[in-house]
Amino acid sequence: MTCDFHGWVFDSEGQLADVPGEELFGDFDKSKLGLKKVSVDVWGGFIFINLDPEPSVSLKEYLKPLNDSYDKYLGNKDWTWSYGWRAKFNANWKLLVDAQIEGYHVDQTHRNTIAGAIPGSYAPADAYPESIGVPARVCAYRPEEMTGVQTDVALLSAKHGATSLYTKSENEFTAKDGEGVLSDHPLWIFDAYLLFPNVVLFIQKGQILVQRTLPISPSECLWEVDFFHTGELEDFGQLFNSEQGRIQIRDVLTEDLYTAEGIQMNFNAGVIKEIQINKQEIAIRAFYHRLMSAVKGTGESK
Amino acid sequence: MSQAIARPDISDIEVEINLWALPTTEERLVKRMNSTMEEINAFHYAMLPKLPAIIDYLNQFQLADLVGDDLKLSRAALAMCEVDNAVYKWKAPVLGTGIDSLRMIKKSGFSDRVIL
């Protein structure tokens, strides 16, 4: 492979093989200038890169309690990237993670979009104190009696697919491989796992969402979300369902992001110095506990 | 073989279809944001009674086979997804409790590295 900067050539083992104008350098030992080693592993169809050349734990160990069944379900080759968005936000990266791992905010923050579709009390969370890389998850269930607004358009969409998180599809998605991973609960919508530190992985029937957040500064971050589906859209019903689901999640996300920037403004003003986290937000507690242990360098996951 | 579904009569709503049959989600988003509620409601309530029949009609074709007037009709139908929340939940063209949707830049792939 050739570096696009100066044309240095490396062989398949990462050793420096050729340098244009090598005589221009003085004391020059190509054997010491190979590519830096990093660790690469694959899980759930995603490639993970670890800058530590010799990690103390394997990726598989890091991602427990996500197990081989999830690896098989997510790694199914039928999943293909469908669409996604990126944005720069004036908020600390952690605030954008927070919003995706608790359901306490849903009824109020999303009062103009999905309130009633996933009440906060239908979003139980679990903490995994023994896990190194998956501190917590939050689940989402539909209430037995829907109290949110289910429009004609949403109900028409639900006849043709399951890409809306907020309207029950008339079609059942059957998982190829990895059977048994997905909840059999008739009202279950999705599980959202926090992959420490900055990835939230939403797993549902027929759709995967991956949200990643990267810090730029204490009060700025890059945020992106990607959607994966199985197979190409073939008919208009599927396209209509995809469009309706895409727009619903887009509008909901704009509310989460609006809130995150508002919280950051409060912090910037110096007025708000601490926040209260309740029992329903246990995933946030687990996130910050894990984060603080990492910052302190204790390596504790509990 | 199932019987072909006839094209619904949309002659009375052609004006609205022509206004909202924009090619992309992003263009339909901008159209909604720049419209008045009167314009949004006019489109929505003109299309709504015919939408089930329009979807059934369009759904009998492969997407790649939608061209001409049928492609235009499909885009207008998709615009119904764009205006749905404005009509029933916000009662306004733009959500007042969210960031500007246009700040969310459409990606071209998982590893899209477009400079923001």
Residues 5-64 (A) with a CB less than 8 A from some CB of B: none
What count of other Cβ atoms lies within 10 Å of the Cβ of residue A264? 21
Interchain contact A240–B (C-beta under 8 A): yes
Query: What does the DSSP assignment read for A57-93?
Result: S-HHHHTTTS-HHHHHHHH-TTEEEEEEEEEEESS-H
- Contact: A240, B55; criterion CB under 8 Å: yes
Among A87, A243, A250, the residue with its CB nearest the CB of B116 is: A87
Q: What's the average model confidence in pLDDT over A107-114?
A: 90
Contacts of residue A152 in chain B, CB cutoff 8 Å? 48, 51
**A81 touching B (Cβ < 8 Å):** yes
Q: Report the alpha-carbon distance of residue A259 to residue B98 in Å, rounded.
A: 8
**ipTM exceeding the 0.85 mark:** yes
Residue of chain B whose Cα is closest to the Cα of A46 = B110
Give the closest residue to A231 by CA, choosing from A126, A78, A44. A78
Residue located via tokens 């615009």: B79
Asked if A253 reaches chain B (Cβ–Cβ under 8 Å), the answer is yes
In whole angstroms, what is the distance from residue A259 CA to residue A151 CA? 25
Optimal mutation site among B25, B105, B106, B110, interface A, most CBs of chain A within 10 A: B110
Res B114 pLDDT > 80: no
The band of A206, judged by pLDDT with boundaries at 50, 70 and 90, is confident
Q: Residue type for B102, please?
A: L
Residues B43-60 as b or e (16 or more Cβ within 10 Å = b): bbebbbebbeebbbbbbe
pLDDT in tens, A55-104: 999 999 999 999 888 888 898 888 999 999 999 999 999 999 999 999 99
Q: Which residues of B touch A253 (CB under 8 A)?
A: 104
What are the beta bridge partners of residue A139?
A191
pLDDT > 70? residue A51: yes
Concatenated DSSP letters for B32-82? HHTS-HHHHHHHHHHHGGGHHHHHHHHTTSBGGG--HHHHHHHHHHHHHHH
Question: pLDDT per residue over A152-191, tens digit each?
Answer: 999 999 899 877 777 777 666 665 655 567 777 888 888 9
Q: Which residues of A touch B82 (CB under 8 A)?
A: 247
DSSP annotation of A30 reads G
Fold of A78-296: Naphthalene 1,2-dioxygenase Alpha Subunit; Chain A, domain 1 (3.90.380)
Looking at residue B69, its amino acid is D
Which stretch of A28-42, A53-67, A117-131, A173-187 has the lowest confidence by average pLDDT? A173-187
- The alpha carbon torsion through A235, A240, A243, A245 (nearest 10 deg) reads -110
Any idea where the domains of chain A sit in the sequence?
Answer: 78-296
Find chain B residues with C-beta within 8 A of A154's C-beta: 84
